[in-house]
Amino acid sequence: MIEMLFIKIHDLENNTVVAMCDEALIDKVLEDDNIFFDIKTYASFYKGDLVEKKKALSMLDGLKVNSANIVGKESIDVAIEAKLIEKENINFVNEIPYAQSFLINYPD
């Protein structure tokens, strides 16, 4: 079975935000101790293109990303390969990996 993931690139005024979520998680609520991800309610944040890993990588190639919100094993694998995140920054909620990254530009 080919694993699919949702990828949505939010182009804002001076920022690019990438949201990726494994297809199997898009209608889930993930909760563990103090961590709460309501992907179901906020599915529109993630639901852009439903693609395979190779297509997601091509969509990210050369893209300058200011922020990323990644949920699920397949999405995490893509984010690592695209150098959006590093393995050390992966966290888990109910054994499901997630990561967030932010690029902060300070004025000179």
Q: Does domain 5-102 have CATH number 3.30.1860.10?
A: yes
One-letter amino acid for residue 24 of the chain: A
Domain ranges for the chain, please list them: 5-102
pTM for the structure as a whole: 0.89
| 10-34 pLDDT per residue, tens | 998 888 999 999 999 999 999 988 8
Q: Is the dihedral of CA 35, 20, 16, 53 positive or negative?
A: positive
| 36-66 pLDDT per residue, tens | 889 999 999 999 999 999 999 999 998 888 8
> 52 and 104 in contact (C-beta within 8 Å)?
no
pLDDT of residue 104: 63
Q: What secondary structure letter does DSSP report for 27?
A: T
Show the DSSP H helices in the chain as ranges.
Answer: 43-46, 53-60, 73-81
pLDDT surpasses 90 at 9: yes
Q: What secondary structure letter does DSSP report for 60?
A: H
pLDDT of residue 108: 53
